[in-house]
Amino acid sequence: MSTTVHRRRVEVMISADQIAERVRQLAAQISADYAGRQPLVIGVLKGAWVLMADLVRQLTIPVRCDFVRVSSYGLGTETSGQPQLLLDVREPVAGADVLVVDDILDTGISVAWLLDHLRKKNPASLRLCVLLDKTERRRVPAAADYVGFPIPDLFVVGYGLDCGEQFRELPFVGHVKGDE
């Protein structure tokens, strides 16, 4: 199925219903894994805000929330390979059980850099939850503890992910046709 958005054809890869069901499953697993604890959930802006909002509302445990902003893409579709911290976490990380929520694990460069940055703050534990895992493009060792969906090597948009700041509002994950 495809739809036209911003005058471009977007092929639906993962429907809104599939995402909602998978987020429920992830929340149940995370709630079980963190039972009796109150993790600090850190969303990676801008792409993960939709996933994080949906995920924390499904959790059955108390959480604290914060955000970081790391960028290595700018307005393009290829990483610069040089992550930049644009906004750091403000909640105390030392001694906390930290769950980082990100939209996509792609090359691994930004995620590996961010996890290393957070490890230096001495959390009690540090885990990663991603909506999408694109293993074909991995350039550095990186793995998520919780994965929504593995996806092929396509540039995807929707459910918080963008292309030039467009498409974030889509309730599904799709591929912009013509960008192969």
Q: Which residues are catalytic?
A: 106
43: left (phi over 0), alpha (psi -120 to 50) or beta: beta
CA-closest candidate to residue 15, choices 173, 132, 175, 166: 173
Coil, strand or helix at 29: helix
The continuous run of DSSP H or E covering 109 comes out as helix 109-119
Q: Any long-range contacts for 132-135 (C-beta under 8 Å, 24+ apart)?
A: 132/103, 132/104, 132/105, 132/156, 132/161, 132/173, 133/104, 133/105, 134/104, 134/105, 134/106
CB 168 within 8 A of CB 179: no
**CA 6 centroid distance within chain:** 23
* 3 state DSSP class of 164: coil
Residue 34 in tokens = 């963190």
